Amino acid sequence: MFILTTKLSPVKLLAISLAVVTLVLGVVFLALPKDEVAETAGQLKIKDAEDVRSFLSSQGWETSISGSHESVTIPTEWNSTFSGYNQIQADQGYDLTKLKGKEVTRYTFEVTNYPDQNEIILANVLVYKGRVVGGDLSTTRADGYMHGFALPEELPFDTQTDAETDPAPDTQVDAEPIPEK
């Protein structure tokens, strides 16, 4: 029979303890299913349109009850427009480059609490394998605007109506006082 004894210093004991804890945590992390890993990382698991509405609510947006969803394919070749769209995604912590050629689901809802706005604002949320991978808020106008889920510090539009703006400099306004009665 062979017996080995050793004297451990406090530093060696601490190093061994840290190694064991690291090993145990690594095994637990690797043993978790991928979906549980995503949820523990703070990402909401998206199963249906109601989950998308909950996600938008967590971003501060109220939406219409009904919406739509469709499958879309992330292009494999990007033009400058799609590269600009991916920059919006990158600015909010998403990146669509890994999804080139992949099919995602786009959920669309009308936003009902966008500030100082009289036009339709849509929230688009891109979902891949049960998690949000991108999205935007945008107007329906051809000359409209688009931004990420957070409301920009400066609103992307002029909140003044035409009646509140001054006439153009070359426009002459003839106004007569209203007579008193």
The model's pLDDT over 61-116, given as tens digits with 9 standing for 90+, comes to: 999 999 999 999 999 999 999 999 999 999 999 999 999 999 999 999 999 999 98
User: Is 53 among the domain residues?
Assistant: yes
pLDDT for 174 equals 39
pLDDT for 43 equals 64
Distances (CA, A) of 168 to 158, 171, 173: 16, 5, 10
pLDDT for 24 equals 57
User: Is 174 among the domain residues?
Assistant: no
Q: Are 125 and 106 in contact (CB under 8 A)?
A: yes
* Domain shared by 80 and 122, yes or no: yes
* Domain shared by 35 and 118, yes or no: no
User: Is 169 among the domain residues?
Assistant: no
CA 9 to chain centre: 51
Radius of gyration of the chain (CA): 27
What is the spatial distance between Cα 126 and Cα 67, in angstroms, rounded to a whole number? 14
Domain hosting residue 56, numbered range: 44-164
| Number of domains comprising the chain | 2
* Domain shared by 34 and 60, yes or no: no
What is the spatial distance between Cα 132 and Cα 126, in angstroms, rounded to a whole number? 6
* Domain shared by 61 and 136, yes or no: yes
Q: Would you tell me how many other CB atoms lie within 10 Å of the CB of residue 25?
A: 10
Per-residue pLDDT tens over the stretch 103-151 = 999 999 999 999 987 889 999 999 999 999 999 999 998 888 999 999 8
Q: Are 75 and 99 in contact (CB under 8 A)?
A: no
* Domain shared by 49 and 37, yes or no: no
CA 99 to chain centre: 16
* Domain shared by 38 and 113, yes or no: no
